[in-house]
């Protein structure tokens, strides 16, 4: 690709620069990448970074990206995860087209590559136990010891390996090892295990195999078989690269993919490791993989995060090799940014306090028709009924207001958004002294939008008409962990001790304007002044809706004042 054919987006990180150079120099005609999850759990936001890098660069540079399952460990893998992962990748907006593959599709070729290594004297059947192999591997400062089986003849190795394949040995009795260098400073190069016996059925190949290749043997070769040009992975694989390169050089691989490592995404106040996520789910600390407090893609989706907010986040954090620990607010800001532009507005009262407008006729209802979105007139208008009895939020009333409290208080005035100015004349209490109702009067001359809107009052609050509003349950979420790096203060790193015990608050009597029921699609709403809320797709019923708070609004007062002037 020459410079004037360059993609619309300039290279913005070191990986894109490498790709761009490789295409410009003609080293590759077309970019080929892959996203290679192991189907042993559902995807989290860290995976989104990798998906966006692999599928995103393929899109930008007009290449292709394989959606490949690295399914070499039948003990931990499940079909349910395969389906969930595919759903998550499509939700993010990426399309693998014809290129859905499985490492298990390559088991036969991989086996042949293994025989090729044996034939060249580059691999041998090891008959020591796993424990003995571990003990003779050496340490970072000491070399390992050669296995007594290292010098088996090619014929003997071939015979034994074939017998391993046909099931003549029990699990753990033999493995196939590469013959590299037991004194290598890189422990991955000390005769790593390539194949082991596992007499368990595989979710895709059933009982066809009882030996399975290890990830390190499989990964680079699968890349090569797919013609991957740039194999993009996280930094923990850097030390494995010499092994991948060794394997690719020793067998007749169709091509040599170039592996490039980048740093993993870490987010503060959460954990992003499938092992830990599985533990949270299995031990019941959360409701499931899609619990809205989980930073899994299914959890974010259920919470109301638009896929475009997740993509914006990945774009914003960028790609580099440096360690990072991103603040949750970066993710939340992306949700706000996207939702502010798209979410229809409604009024919703989370903690209802009844207000009777004593001078408003009992049998009268009028209807206000504010825009569904202040900046998108094409989204149309909604119908907001107003009547004698309304609900406002308890927090918008103070009996004893501080000096700069501009909302409702005894004898004070406030504007009801889209409606009138009311004044609080009387406060009604129950036996315990709790405020249960306010008696107010409205001023008809202050109708919103009317020519003479009347005098200006500082505060504007939201409300709903009591007889028209819909009662819903609202779930407010906070961070799942109370510490920025869960487990960091514990000598054993136990992250479970840092779970935030107040990460969910359920409000069962919230009142929302009736227009919410006419929503055609599942969409995220902005409850004006309050935040963004999404109908829970699992627990909502037609007549009993449950809303998840996606994210709070920030600086609502500043915004309202601005809109008013």
Residues marked active site are found at: 38, 264, 274
Nearer to ligand ATP, 50 or 503 (CB): 50
Q: Closer to ligand ATP at the Cβ: 479 or 549?
A: 479
**Helix H segments across 318-417?**
328-342
Q: What span, in angstroms and rounded, lies between the C-alpha atoms of 9 and 315?
A: 12
CB 35 within 8 A of CB 58: no
Which of helix, strand or coil describes residue 90? helix
For the CB of residue 429, give the shortest distance to ligand ATP in the complex, in Å: 54
456 membership: H or E segment, kind and range: none
Q: Closest-CB residue for ligand ATP? A: 46
> Which of 215, 405 has the CB closer to ligand ATP?
215
Smallest gap from Cβ 47 to ligand ATP, in A, equals: 5
Cβ distance to ligand ATP smaller for residue 169 or 313:
313
- Residue from 47, 152, 447, 462 in contact with ligand ATP (CB under 6 A): 47
Q: How far is the CB of 497 from ligand ATP (least distance, A)?
A: 20
Nearest CB to ligand ATP, comparing residues 282 and 431? 282
Among 1, 23, 31, 46, binds ligand ATP (CB under 6 A): 46
Stretch that binds ligand ATP, among 2-10, 47-55, 419-427, 530-538 (CB under 6 A): 47-55
CB-based contacts of 471, cutoff 8 Å, min separation 6: 509, 510, 511
Binding mask 423-462 for ligand ATP (x = CB under 6 A): ----------------------------------------
Nearer to ligand ATP, 273 or 497 (CB): 273
Among positions 16, 20, 42, 49, the unique one binding ligand ATP when judged by CB under 6 A: 49
Of 47 and 372, the one with the shorter C-beta distance to ligand ATP is 47
Q: For the window 505-524, what string marks contact with ligand ATP as x by the rule CB under 6 A?
A: --------------------
Could you tell me the CA-to-CA distances from 162 to 217, 222, 310, 324 in Å, in that order?
A: 18, 22, 48, 47
End-to-end CA distance of the chain: 53
- In the complex, what is the shortest distance from the CB of residue 51 to ligand ATP, in angstroms, rounded to a whole number? 8
Closest CA to 164 of 120, 118, 133: 118
The window from 36-44, 185-193, 314-322, 537-545 that contacts ligand ATP (CB under 6 A) reads 36-44
Looking up tokens 């490949």 gives 68
Lookup: tokens for 518? 């006419």
What residues from 259 to 318 belong to the interface with ligand ATP (CB under 6 A)?
264-265, 272-275
Shortest separation between residue 310's beta carbon and ligand ATP, angstroms: 13
User: In this complex, which beta carbon is closest to ligand ATP, that of residue 1 or of residue 295?
Assistant: 295
Using CB under 6 A as the criterion, what x/- string covers residues 204-243 for binding ligand ATP?
Answer: -----------------------------xx---------
For residue 385, give the H/E element and its range: strand 384-387
Cα separation, 182 vs 168, in Å, equals: 29
Options 20, 36, 114, 251; binder of ligand ATP; rule CB under 6 A: 36
For 62-75, b/e burial (b = at least 16 CB within 10 A) is ebbbbbbbbbbbbe
Q: Which of 13, 22, 38, 340 binds ligand ATP (CB under 6 A)?
A: 38
Distance, CA of 476 to chain centre: 18
Q: Enumerate the β-bridge partners of residue 162.
A: none
Residue 326: strand, helix, or coil? strand
User: Considering only 32-40, 117-125, 358-366, 497-505, which stretch makes contact with ligand ATP by CB under 6 A?
Assistant: 32-40
- Rank residues 272 and 356 by Cβ distance to ligand ATP and give the closer one: 272
Least distance (Å) between residue 46 CB and ligand ATP: 2
The tokens for 333 are 């800001």
CA distance 562 to 276: 45
Q: Choose which of 33, 50, 229, 526 interacts with ligand ATP (CB under 6 A).
A: 50
Cβ-based neighbour number of residue 347 at 10 Å: 30
Nearest-angstrom CA–CA distance, 311 and 309: 5
Contact (CB, 8 A) for 19 and 72: no
What are the CA-CA distances from residue 373 to residues 135, 379, 449, 527 (Å)? 67, 6, 17, 12
Q: How far is the CB of 294 from ligand ATP (least distance, A)?
A: 12
Residue with tokens 């960028």: 318
Q: Helix, strand, or coil here: 20? A: helix
Tokens of 430: 């129950």
User: How many other CB atoms are found less than 10 A from the CB of residue 171?
Assistant: 12
Sole window of 33-41, 423-431, 462-470, 493-501 interacting with ligand ATP (rule: CB under 6 A): 33-41
| CB atoms near residue 131 (< 10 Å) | 9
Q: Which is nearer to ligand ATP, 186 or 273 (CB)?
A: 273
Region near ligand ATP per CB under 6 A, out of 45-53, 393-401, 463-471, 524-532: 45-53
Contact between 37 and ligand ATP by CB under 6 A: the answer reads yes
Q: Which neighbouring-strand residues pair with 64?
A: 32
As given in the structure block, the two tokens for residue 462 are 């939201």
Q: Which residues face 435 on adjacent strands?
A: 429
Q: Are 339 and 550 contacting, i.e. CB atoms less than 8 angstroms apart?
A: yes
CB of 58 to ligand ATP, least distance (A): 14
How many binding residues for ligand ATP (CB under 6 A)? 15
Of residues 240 and 345, the one with the C-beta less far from ligand ATP: 240
With contact defined as beta carbons under 8 Å apart, do 235 and 321 qualify? Answer: yes
Tokens matching residue 28: 């590759």
Q: How far apart are CA 118 and CA 405, in angstroms?
A: 80
Please, what is the minimum distance in Å from the beta carbon of residue 234 to ligand ATP?
A: 4
- For residue 56, state whether it binds ligand ATP (rule: CB under 6 A): no
Shortest CB 41 distance to ligand ATP, Å:
6
The stretch among 31-39, 206-214, 301-309, 409-417 that binds ligand ATP (CB under 6 A) is 31-39
Closest distance to ligand ATP from the beta carbon of 488 (Å): 17
By CB under 6 A, name the binding residues for ligand ATP: 36-38, 46-47, 49-50, 233-234, 264-265, 272-275
């Amino acid at each position: 690709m020459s410079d004037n054919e360059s993609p619309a987006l300039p290279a913005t990180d070191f990986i894109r620069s490498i790709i761009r150079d490789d295409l410009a120099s003609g080293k590759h005609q077309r970019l080929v990448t892959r996203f290679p999850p192991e189907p042993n759990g559902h995807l989290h936001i860290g995976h989104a970074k990798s998906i966006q890098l692999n599928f995103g660069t393929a899109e930008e540079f007009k290449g292709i990206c394989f959606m490949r399952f690295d399914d070499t460990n039948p003990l931990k893998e499940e079909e349910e995860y395969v389906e969930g992962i595919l759903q998550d990748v499509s939700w993010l907006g990426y399309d693998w087209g014809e290129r859905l593959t499985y490492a298990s599709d390559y088991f036969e070729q991989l086996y042949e590559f293994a025989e090729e290594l044996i034939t060249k004297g580059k691999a041998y059947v090891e008959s020591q136990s796993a424990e003995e192999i571990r003990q003779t591997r050496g340490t970072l400062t000491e070399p390992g010891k050669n296995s007594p089986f290292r010098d088996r003849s090619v014929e003997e190795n071939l015979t034994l390996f074939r017998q391993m394949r046909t099931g003549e040995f029990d699990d753990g009795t033999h493995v196939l090892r590469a013959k590299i260098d037991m004194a290598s400073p890189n422990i991955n190069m000390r005769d790593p295990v390539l194949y082991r016996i596992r007499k368990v059925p595989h979710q895709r190949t059933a009982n066809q195999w009882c030996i399975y290749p290890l990830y390190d043997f499989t990964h680079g070769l699968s890349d090569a078989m797919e013609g991957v040009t740039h194999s993009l992975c996280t930094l923990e694989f850097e030390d494995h690269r010499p092994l991948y390169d060794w394997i690719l050089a020793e067998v007749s691989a169709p091509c040599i993919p170039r592996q490039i490592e980048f740093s993993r995404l870490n987010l503060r106040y959460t954990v992003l490791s499938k092992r830990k996520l599985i533990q949270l789910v299995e031990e019941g600390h959360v409701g499931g993989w899609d619990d809205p407090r989980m930073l899994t893609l299914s959890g974010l989706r259920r919470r109301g995060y638009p896929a475009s907010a997740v993509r914006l986040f990945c774009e914003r954090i960028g790609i580099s090799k440096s360690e990072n620990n991103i603040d949750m607010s970066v993710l939340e800001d992306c949700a706000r940014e996207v939702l502010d532009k798209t979410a229809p507005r409604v009024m919703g009262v989370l903690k209802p306090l009844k207000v009777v407008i004593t001078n408003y006729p009992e049998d009268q209802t009028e209807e206000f028709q504010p825009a569904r979105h202040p900046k998108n007139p094409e989204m149309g208008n909604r119908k907001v009924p107003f009547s004698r009895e309304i609900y406002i939020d308890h927090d918008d009333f103070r009996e004893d207001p501080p000096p700069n409290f501009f909302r409702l208080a005894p004898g004070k005035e406030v504007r009801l958004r889209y409606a009138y100015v009311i004044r609080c004349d009387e406060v009604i209490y129950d036996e315990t002294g709790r405020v249960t109702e306010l008696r107010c009067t409205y001023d008809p001359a202050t109708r919103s939008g009317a020519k003479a809107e009347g005098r200006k009052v500082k505060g504007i609050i939201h409300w709903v008409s009591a007889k028209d509003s819909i009662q819903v349950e609202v779930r407010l979420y906070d961070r799942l962990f109370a510490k920025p790096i869960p487990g960091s203060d514990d000598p054993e790193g136990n992250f479970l001790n840092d779970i935030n015990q107040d990460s969910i608050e359920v409000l069962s009597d919230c009142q929302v304007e009736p227009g919410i029921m006419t929503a055609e699609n599942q969409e995220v709403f902005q409850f004006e002044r309050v935040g963004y809320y999404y109908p829970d797709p699992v627990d909502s019923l037609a007549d009993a809706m449950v809303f998840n708070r996606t994210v709070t609004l920030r600086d609502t007062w500043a915004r309202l004042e601005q809109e008013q002037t």
